[in-house]
Structure 1
Amino acid sequence: AQPQIRKEGLKLFVQYKKTKEDDDEIKSLQPDKRLITPSEVYTVFKKMSDHDLHLLGLSDEYARPEWMILTVMPVPPPPVRPSIAVDGGAMRSEDDLTYKLGDIIKASANVRRCEQEGAPAHVITEFEQLLQVIYFYFC
Structure 2
Amino acid sequence: LNDPLLGSVDRPFKCKTCNNSMSECPGHFGHIELAKPVYHPGFIKKTKKILEMVCHECGKLLCDKDNDEGFLDAIRTRDPKVRFARVWAMCKDKKFCENETTKKGGDKDGFESSKPQVTKVPHGGCGSAHPNIRQKALALFARVKGETNDEETAQKKEIKDKPITPETAHAVLKKISEEDMWNMGLNKDYARPEWLIVTVLPVPPPPVRPSISMDGTGTGMRNEDDLTYKLGDIIRANGNVKQAIQDGAPAHICLEFEELLQYHVATY
Give the shorter-chain TM-score range.
Answer: 0.7 to 0.9
Q: Please, which of 222, 233, 237 is the counterpart of residue 92 of structure 1?
A: 222
Which runs of no fewer than 5 residues in structure 1 stay unpaired? none
Which residue number corresponds to residue 102 of structure 1?
232
Structure 1: distance between partners of 2:160 and 2:151: 15
SS in 1 for 2:202: coil
Structure 2: distance between partners of 1:49 and 1:93: 48
1:124 maps onto 2:254 in alignment: yes
Q: Which has the larger radius of gyration?
A: 2
The alignment of Structure 1 onto Structure 2 pairs a total of residues equal to 135
Structure 2: distance between partners of 1:102 and 1:48: 35
Which runs of no fewer than 5 residues in structure 2 stay unpaired? 1-94, 96-129
Which residue number corresponds to residue 5 of structure 1?
133
Residue pair 2:178, 2:188 contacting (<8 A) in 1 also: yes
TM-aligned CA deviation for residue 58 of structure 1: 1.9
Deviations 1:95-133 (A, max 9, x none): 111111111111111110010000001100000101111
Residue pair 2:145, 2:159 contacting (<8 A) in 1 also: no
1:59 maps onto 2:187 in alignment: yes
Which residue number corresponds to residue 16 of structure 1?
144
Structure 2: distance between partners of 1:104 and 1:23: 52
Which residue number corresponds to residue 84 of structure 2?
none
SS in 2 for 1:63: coil
TM-aligned CA deviation for residue 19 of structure 1: 3.1
Residue pair 1:110, 1:127 contacting (<8 A) in 2 also: yes
TM-score by length of 1: 0.83
Structure 2: distance between partners of 1:124 and 1:135: 17
Residue pair 2:143, 2:161 contacting (<8 A) in 1 also: yes
TM-aligned CA deviation for residue 22 of structure 1: 9.7
TM-aligned CA deviation for residue 136 of structure 1: 1.7
Structure 2: distance between partners of 1:115 and 1:39: 14
TM-score by length of 2: 0.45
TM-aligned CA deviation for residue 61 of structure 1: 2.3
Which residue number corresponds to residue 47 of structure 1?
175
| Structure of greater relative contact order (alpha carbons < 8 Å, 6+ residues apart) | 2
SS in 2 for 1:13: strand
Identical-pair percentage: 51
RMSD of aligned residue pairs (Cα, Å): 2.6
TM-aligned CA deviation for residue 82 of structure 1: 0.5
TM-aligned CA deviation for residue 84 of structure 1: 2.9
Structure 2: distance between partners of 1:83 and 1:40: 38
Task: Indicate how the Cα distance of structure 1 residues 57 and 9 shifts in structure 2: closer, same or farther if over 3 A, else same.
Answer: closer
Which residue identity is paired with 2:208? V
Residue pair 1:111, 1:128 contacting (<8 A) in 2 also: yes
Structure 2: distance between partners of 1:69 and 1:117: 26
Which residue identity is paired with 1:131? L
Judge which range, 105-114 or 51-60, deviates more: 51-60
